[in-house]
Chain A
Amino acid sequence: MRKYPNPMNPCVVGVDVLERTVDGRGRLHSHRLLSTEWGLPALVKAVSLGRRRHGDCSAGIPGTPRRCACELHPVILGTSRTLTYIKEHSIVDPVEKRMELCSTNITLTNLVSVDERLVYTPHPENPEMTVLTQEAIITVKGISLGSYLESLMANTISSNAKKIMSSFPSHAPSSRASSPSQIPSAEAWRLLLPSDGHSQLHFSPQPLCVQTCPCLEATPRNGSTTGTHGREAVEWVIRSLDAELEDLAAPASERA
């Protein structure tokens, strides 16, 4: 499953200091820019294919029915590159021996927002140990991703996938079977829905097939999901989407 660097902990390929000051309390503040490399080639490929078709609006993906979803493709990544940027603010307090790091992505903000905070403090009982507190707020921008996926599914390029999906009811409860990846799940892709809960995905004759995320505990609200496993949940969703797209794209590229 960890075939690529995952987007929640991507490969940092560059670090630059933007600002550094010591405040009135003797704490060192640093603002840094991190250059990070994603690892989702299927998503990038899908976007690249879409962008090549953008001019004639004939199709989003080669081999698909003639339906233009080009207005959706650039929204996803806006680039065929996978380099993204994160801004980090750190505070080092030499008196309290406390370090706090806050980071947020400043690119791909139309797709996802990841705000993360890490705090290192001395262990209250054992001075040889350090306590790390980590929290993250991850917001998946359901409208653009959900619409894009709806478009992708509506233009399904694999006839086999179509047959499999149409054999399941469109509103099946989150149950599991021998091939969980083929069962439409209302649970996992609800992450991708806008807050009003209405999405054309819900009524699509070819429902999105995503396995129920086993680590998702918090109830999604307002298009975002939080909780102790929020980071893992989004990581799982993005990995699943990447795998789904890879499967869907492969037959088309062979035919193209």
Chain B
Amino acid sequence: MNGVGKACTDMKHKYNKCFNCWFAKKFLKRDSSNDPCTDLFKHYQQCVQKVIKEKEIPIEGLGFMGHSKERPESSS
């Protein structure tokens, strides 16, 4: 599955691989050891945020389902 930007695909896959492993082997077994994927996530995020800014995707903090703020109207 791709993401919002093709440039971030490799980083995304590397992060996902790390996360899936941590999630299944540590998190679900209630192992409280630290997340080893922090650096990979940071790298991936920098790319995603850049694409979001370029595409002007409106991801400013929107709450919903009981925590809603005023939703800005957008047509794009």
| Residues on A facing B (Cβ under 8 Å) | 12-18, 20, 22, 26, 28, 33, 35, 74-79, 85, 87, 89, 92, 94-95, 102-104, 106-111, 113, 115, 117, 137
| B36 → chain A closest CB, angstroms | 13
| Residues on B facing A (Cβ under 8 Å) | 1-4, 8, 12, 15, 19, 23, 27-30, 32, 35, 41, 44-45, 48, 52, 57-59, 62, 64-65, 68, 71-76
| A114 → chain B closest CB, angstroms | 10
> A14: which B residues are within 8 A, CB to CB?
1-4
The A interface, classified by DSSP as helix, strand, loop or mixed, is strand
The reply to whether A28 and B27 form a contact with Cβ atoms under 8 Å apart is yes
* Chain A residue at minimal CB-CB distance from B29: A94
> A108: which B residues are within 8 A, CB to CB?
74-75
The reply to whether B32 and A87 form a contact with Cβ atoms under 8 Å apart is no
Partner of B41, one of A20, A33, A104: A20
> A103: which B residues are within 8 A, CB to CB?
64
| A77 → chain B closest CB, angstroms | 7
The reply to whether B30 and A87 form a contact with Cβ atoms under 8 Å apart is no
* Chain A residue at minimal CB-CB distance from B71: A109
The reply to whether B58 and A106 form a contact with Cβ atoms under 8 Å apart is yes
The B interface, classified by DSSP as helix, strand, loop or mixed, is loop
Contacts A/B (CB < 8 Å), 10 sampled: A12-B1, A20-B41, A33-B52, A74-B75, A78-B75, A87-B62, A104-B62, A107-B74, A107-B76, A111-B75
The reply to whether A16 and B12 form a contact with Cβ atoms under 8 Å apart is yes
The reply to whether A16 and B3 form a contact with Cβ atoms under 8 Å apart is yes
Q: A78-B76, A87-B59 are in contact. Are A35 and B30 (CB under 8 A)?
A: no
* Chain A residue at minimal CB-CB distance from B48: A16
Partner of B1, one of A15, A18, A20, A110: A15
CA distance A156 to B2 in the complex (A): 41
The reply to whether B3 and A77 form a contact with Cβ atoms under 8 Å apart is no
* Chain A residue at minimal CB-CB distance from B34: A22
> A18: which B residues are within 8 A, CB to CB?
45, 48, 59
CA distance A75 to B74 in the complex (A): 9
Q: A16-B3, A107-B58 are in contact. Are A117 and B65 (CB under 8 A)?
A: yes
> B57: which A residues are within 8 A, CB to CB?
33, 85, 106-107
| B75 → chain A closest CB, angstroms | 3
Instruction: Return the 5 tightest CB-CB contacts between A and B, nearest first.
Output: A78-B75, A16-B3, A104-B64, A78-B76, A102-B65
The reply to whether B27 and A15 form a contact with Cβ atoms under 8 Å apart is no
| B74 → chain A closest CB, angstroms | 5
Partner of B8, one of A16, A22, A77, A109: A16
Other A-B pairs, 20, CB within 8 Å; known A20-B19, A33-B48:
A16-B3, A16-B48, A17-B15, A17-B44, A18-B59, A33-B57, A35-B2, A85-B4, A85-B57, A87-B59, A94-B29, A102-B64, A102-B65, A106-B57, A106-B59, A107-B74, A107-B76, A110-B75, A115-B64, A115-B68
